[in-house]
């Protein structure tokens, strides 16, 4: 495999140089096939399917350039091929979160008005609505390789809009983050920061240039910027991506042994428990944890590090296009911190971390007001995270300025959205939704003499949870005997 | 398979995945609240149930799983 990568800056070069030439015979992607067996695709064959996908898109769309294509489905080989195919075809892709409720998906579809939707046809709760409203634009994702391989061309403009990814807004309505391929590719080049740390550790472990192997396991959804960016970054180093599913995490990990795993806090905690319980058999040759998407417990990271796991952290948000902060320091003081990457500048403004650089989003889709709220005239993105910077230049996050709950699963949830649902319960006078140990908790006031109504509220929450995706469920309800504290402006006090 | 046997399988999986003692689990236990399971752990449990019972549980059913009883009800209709 070798200790060096081949760092290119466009998707065209990634396909034609890395996949079709330098690493052509190496495993590029592994996944579980329909018969349950693991399929290994070499980079060369993967690239051929990407070319077929470009051919398919050109055929179906009568030229795919600048056309808008949504992707809706579980992680799969075809999903990965479609992502790269759409980039190679210079289309605009919109990977959507299939776990969302129809109202949200429908809002996003109406906003972007896709030319076609590639979907996996699974039995989703919103299947009937999708067929009714968008039936004439649906194409089966699995058919995207059923065409002759197309001729590829270097992109006309790597800075042009090439993807829209939806992120939760503070008031519930999601916002479409516009990114270009340059953003993802340049952070790939700069992720050499963490690659070097992995190589240094590999050398300590006794690997040589010839014996060094790295396969990266990811169950994070491909509509999420971290998984999406990984798909484009690992081929820079000739490392294989093992595409798993969160639902079959351990089975997939056992069948696709991996040295590196992408994790959110709840997965890191689960793996930590396995190690503590002496169940390393469940995690195979794993020695690198790529942590992203939410704050991790410093104690857990330190303990994992002491037990031989290399902790690499990536801090970023969809708006930073997979750029942001990187960290490979393993010491007690810095393990939960981060430092900048070459393509980014950072500063603190009233304690808020602000980032600037080529990888930032182009703005929110059809939402100039929303864009102006986070991206100022000088190009600084206001992250909404409070931070301090220590004497060695490490950034340490200290809290959130914006009212968004970031859960252990990495999902962002707007408390107002859940409060609005809770407040529909007759027994609830007012409510406050907040994060409690990585999960969602609610504080409810039922009015004077409200104790008698508490059972009604509990029952209401149980039923309400049945209508929500797993990650949005309220896991505990506490009751307040007093009205909830409000600030001078009459807003709920959240801290 | 009857409800008691299904319950026994669930209890075994809970112990393996999240170290929850069988004494702490009853049919009314709420997965996220009483048993303090994360959404990731619930997914792992569902995957283990799929393997144990040789079935595939569709995505849309996941929403109805709030208590242990919900799991037993569902599994009874599939493997009962």
CATH number, domain containing residue A445: 3.30.300.30
Q: Give the pLDDT band (50/70/90) at residue A469.
A: confident
pLDDT value, residue A170: 53
Maximum average pLDDT range among A68-77, A262-271, B44-53: A68-77
pLDDT digits (tens, 9 = 90+) for A402-416: 777 888 777 778 888
pLDDT digits (tens, 9 = 90+) for A121-178: 988 889 999 999 999 999 999 999 999 999 999 999 999 999 999 986 555 578 999 9
| CB–CB contact B40 A251 (8 Å) | no
Which residue, of A375, A403, A431, is where some domain finishes? A403
| CB–CB contact A249 B42 (8 Å) | no
Count: domains in chain A: 2
Minimal C-alpha gap between A474 and chain B (Å): 8
**Residues A123, A28 within the same domain:** yes
**Residues A248, A312 within the same domain:** yes
pLDDT value, residue A272: 92
**Residues A263, A298 within the same domain:** yes
pLDDT value, residue A148: 97
Mean pLDDT in residue range B37-48: 86
Q: Report the mean per-residue pLDDT for chain B.
A: 89
Report the distance separating Cα A486 and Cα A494, nearest Å: 9
Statement: residue A358 has pLDDT above 60: yes
Statement: residue A435 has pLDDT above 60: yes
Quick check: helix, strand or coil at residue B67? Answer: strand
Q: Give a yes or no: residue A308 inside a domain.
A: yes
A476 reaches B (C-beta below 8 A): yes
Query: By residue range, what is the domain housing residue A446?
Result: 404-480
Q: Which residues of A touch B38 (CB under 8 A)?
A: 266, 269-270, 408-409, 438-439
ipTM: 0.73
> pTM of this prediction?
0.84
Report the distance separating Cα A101 and Cα A113, nearest Å: 18
Report the distance separating Cα A357 and Cα A383, nearest Å: 13
| CB–CB contact A471 B39 (8 Å) | yes
B58 reaches A (C-beta below 8 A): yes
A269 reaches B (C-beta below 8 A): yes
pLDDT digits (tens, 9 = 90+) for A280-306: 888 999 999 999 877 788 889 999 999
Which residue, of A379, A403, A427, is where some domain finishes? A403
pLDDT digits (tens, 9 = 90+) for B9-36: 999 999 988 888 999 999 999 888 888 8
**Residues A427, A334 within the same domain:** no
Minimal C-alpha gap between B43 and chain A (Å): 5
A475 reaches B (C-beta below 8 A): yes
Partner residue opposite B40 with nearest CB, options A270, A465, A468: A270
Q: Which residues of B touch A465 (CB under 8 A)?
A: 32, 66
B47 reaches A (C-beta below 8 A): yes
Q: Give a yes or no: residue A486 inside a domain.
A: no
Q: Give a yes or no: residue A487 inside a domain.
A: no
Mean pLDDT in residue range A459-476: 88
| CB–CB contact B47 A476 (8 Å) | no
């Amino acid at each position: 495999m070798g200790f060096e990568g081949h760092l290119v800056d466009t998707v065209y070069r990634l396909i034609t140089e890395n996949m079709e030439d330098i690493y052509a015979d190496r495993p590029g992607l592994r996944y579980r096939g329909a018969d349950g067996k693991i399929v290994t695709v070499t980079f060369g064959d993967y690239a051929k399917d990407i070319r077929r996908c470009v051919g398919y898109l050109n055929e179906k769309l009568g030229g795919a350039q600048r056309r808008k294509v949504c992707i809706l489905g579980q992680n799969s080989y075809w999903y990965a091929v479609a992502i790269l195919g759409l980039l190679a075809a210079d289309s605009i892709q919109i990977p959507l979160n299939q776990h969302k409720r129809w109202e949200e998906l429908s809002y996003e579809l109406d906003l972007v008005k896709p030319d076609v939707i590639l979907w996996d046809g699974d039995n989703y709760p919103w299947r009937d609505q999708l067929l009714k409203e968008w039936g004439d634009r649906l194409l089966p994702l699995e058919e995207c390789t059923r065409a002759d391989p197309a001729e590829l061309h270097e992109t006309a403009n790597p800075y042009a809009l090439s993807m829209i990814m939806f992120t939760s807004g503070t008031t519930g309505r999601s916002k479409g983050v516009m990114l270009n391929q340059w953003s993802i590719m340049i952070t790939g080049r700069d992720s050499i920061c963490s690659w070097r740390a992995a190589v240094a550790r590999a050398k300590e472990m006794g690997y040589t240039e010839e014996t060094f192997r790295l396969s990266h396991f990811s169950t994070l959804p491909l509509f999420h910027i971290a998984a999406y960016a990984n798909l484009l970054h690992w081929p820079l180093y000739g490392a294989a991506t093992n595409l798993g599913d969160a639902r079959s995490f351990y089975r997939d990990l056992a069948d696709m042994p991996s040295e590196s795993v992408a994790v959110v806090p709840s997965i890191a905690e689960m793996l930590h428990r396995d190690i503590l319980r002496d169940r390393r058999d469940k995690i195979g040759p794993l020695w690198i944890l790529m942590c992203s998407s939410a704050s991790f417990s410093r104690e857990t990271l330190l303990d994992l590090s002491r037990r031989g796991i290399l902790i690499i952290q990536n801090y970023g948000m969809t708006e930073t296009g997979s750029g942001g902060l990187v960290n490979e320091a393993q010491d007690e003081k810095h393990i939960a911190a981060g430092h900048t990457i070459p393509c980014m500048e950072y500063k603190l403004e009233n304690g808020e971390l602000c980032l600037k650089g080529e990888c930032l989003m182009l703005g929110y889709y059809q939402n100039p007001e929303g864009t102006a709220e986070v991206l100022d005239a000088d190009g600084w993105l206001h992250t909404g995270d409070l931070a301090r910077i220590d004497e060695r230049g490490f950034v340490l996050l200290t809290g959130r300025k914006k009212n968004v709950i970031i859960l252990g699963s990495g999902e962002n949830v707007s408390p107002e959205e859940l409060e609005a649902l809770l407040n529909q319960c007759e027994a609830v006078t007012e409510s406050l939704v907040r994060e409690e140990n990585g999960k969602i908790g609610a504080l409810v006031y039922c009015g004077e003499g409200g104790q008698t109504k508490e059972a009604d509220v509990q029952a209401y929450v149980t039923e309400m949870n049945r209508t929500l995706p797993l990650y949005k469920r309220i896991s505990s309800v506490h009751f307040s005997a007093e009205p909830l504290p409000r600030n001078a402006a009459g807003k709920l006090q959240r801290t | 398979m009857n409800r008691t046997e299904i319950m026994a399988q669930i209890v075994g999986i809970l112990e393996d995945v999240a170290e929850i003692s069988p004494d702490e689990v009853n049919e009314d236990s709420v997965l996220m609240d009483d048993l303090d399971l994360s959404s990731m752990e619930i997914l792992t449990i569902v995957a283990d149930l799929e393997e144990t019972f040789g079935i595939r549980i569709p995505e849309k059913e996941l929403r109805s799983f709030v208590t242990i009883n919900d799991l037993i009800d569902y599994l009874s209709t599939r493997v009962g």
